[in-house]
């Protein structure tokens, strides 16, 4: 029964992630105006705002203009529920840190996918949760408490070096500035070894997709997120 409450908690915040994904890159206020359809701008009824249920009940379309509601609206809510149950199952009440880390990281991943940019306010907030998650894990294992900070800075240093060094060789930008903070999130939350494994998974996946689709400008954060999530799940097995 408690897992049902946790799942509902997760989908509500998953729904809030949708608000962040749409409003932050479009420079809109997070609270006002109240929820509206991005296509026809009509305000939504309360019954159109129920996470998961409204999407299915409206048959994936806006009530007024009949335009399709993007799938990621539904996906964010499902993932919110999954992150909450996963975090609570593994860490109990302390899992709240893991939950917000996953949800904010996912938010960054969708924003990067659609807008090819990463809002600083969200990436620094996620970095904060990443370091807190590292501390939480260290606290459980009585490991050195300074490590998550050092790990985050170490990974950010390596990312900055790669950006300047490889960028200098090829004379073009190989990584966005925002990706440096994402490396910090990986280092702070997973530790240096697992962060490198996550980056390796992300790099190999990106390379394969680039070769298959012959697209050479791709957002990197979604792949780093896949690497992060795989390692997070493997670490808790």
Tell me the window of 19-27, 62-70, 147-155, 181-189 that interacts with Zn ion (CB under 5 A): 62-70
| Of positions 3, 5, 23, 39, contacts Zn ion by CB under 5 A | 39
Binding residues for Zn ion restricted to 192-211, rule: CB under 5 A? none
d(CA 82, CA 11) in angstroms, rounded, equals 8
- 37 is a site residue for Zn ion (CB under 5 A): yes
- 59 is a site residue for Zn ion (CB under 5 A): no
| Of positions 4, 28, 40, 145, contacts Zn ion by CB under 5 A | 40
Tell me the window of 38-46, 124-132, 167-175, 176-184 that interacts with Zn ion (CB under 5 A): 38-46
- 62 is a site residue for Zn ion (CB under 5 A): yes
| Of positions 9, 35, 50, 64, contacts Zn ion by CB under 5 A | 64
Q: Judge contact between 127 and 181, C-beta under 8 A.
A: yes
| Of positions 43, 45, 65, 121, contacts Zn ion by CB under 5 A | 65
Q: How far is the CB of 12 from Zn ion (least distance, A)?
A: 23
- Comparison of 57 and 89: residue with beta carbon closer to Zn ion: 57
- Comparison of 66 and 140: residue with beta carbon closer to Zn ion: 66
- Comparison of 65 and 234: residue with beta carbon closer to Zn ion: 65
Number of residues that bind Zn ion (CB under 5 A): 6
d(CA 79, CA 233) in angstroms, rounded, equals 14
Distance of CA 125 to the CA centre of its chain: 11
Q: Judge contact between 37 and 60, C-beta under 8 A.
A: no
Residues paired with residue 43 on neighbouring β-strands, in sequence order? 36
In terms of DSSP H, where are the helices of 24-143? 53-57, 71-91, 95-115, 120-141
Q: Judge contact between 87 and 102, C-beta under 8 A.
A: yes
Q: How far is the CB of 65 from Zn ion (least distance, A)?
A: 3
Task: Return the sign of the alpha-carbon dihedral for residues 8, 13, 14, 16.
Answer: positive
Q: How far is the CB of 64 from Zn ion (least distance, A)?
A: 5
Task: Return the sign of the alpha-carbon dihedral for residues 186, 188, 192, 193.
Answer: negative
- 113 is a site residue for Zn ion (CB under 5 A): no
DSSP 51: T
Q: How far is the CB of 61 from Zn ion (least distance, A)?
A: 8
φ and ψ at residue 33, rounded to 5 degrees:
-70, 165
Footprint of Zn ion (CB under 5 A): 37, 39-40, 62, 64-65
């Amino acid at each position: 029964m408690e897992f049902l409450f946790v799942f509902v908690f997760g989908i509500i915040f998953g729904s809030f992630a949708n608000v962040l994904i749409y409003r932050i890159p479009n420079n809109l206020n997070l609270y006002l105006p109240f929820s509206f359809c991005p296509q026809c701008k009509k305000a939504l009824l309360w019954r159109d705002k129920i996470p998961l249920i409204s999407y299915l009940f409206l048959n994936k379309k806006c009530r007024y203009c009949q335009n399709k509601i993007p799938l990621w609206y539904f996906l964010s809510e499902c993932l919110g529920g999954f992150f909450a149950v996963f975090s609570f199952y593994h860490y109990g009440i302390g899992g709240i840190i893991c939950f917000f880390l996953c949800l904010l990281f996912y938010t960054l991943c969708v924003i990067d996918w659609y807008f090819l940019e990463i809002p600083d306010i969200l990436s620094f907030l996620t970095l904060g949760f990443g370091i807190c998650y590292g501390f939480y894990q260290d606290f459980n294992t009585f490991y050195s408490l300074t490590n998550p900070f050092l790990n985050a800075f170490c990974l950010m240093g390596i990312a900055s070096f790669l950006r300047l060094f490889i960028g200098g060789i090829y004379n073009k930008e190989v990584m966005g500035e925002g990706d440096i903070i994402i490396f910090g999130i990986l280092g702070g939350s997973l530790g240096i070894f697992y962060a490198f494994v996550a980056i390796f998974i992300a790099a190999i996946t990106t390379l394969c997709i680039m070769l298959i689709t012959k697209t050479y400008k791709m957002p990197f954060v979604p792949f780093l997120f896949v690497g992060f999530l795989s390692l997070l799940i493997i670490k808790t097995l």
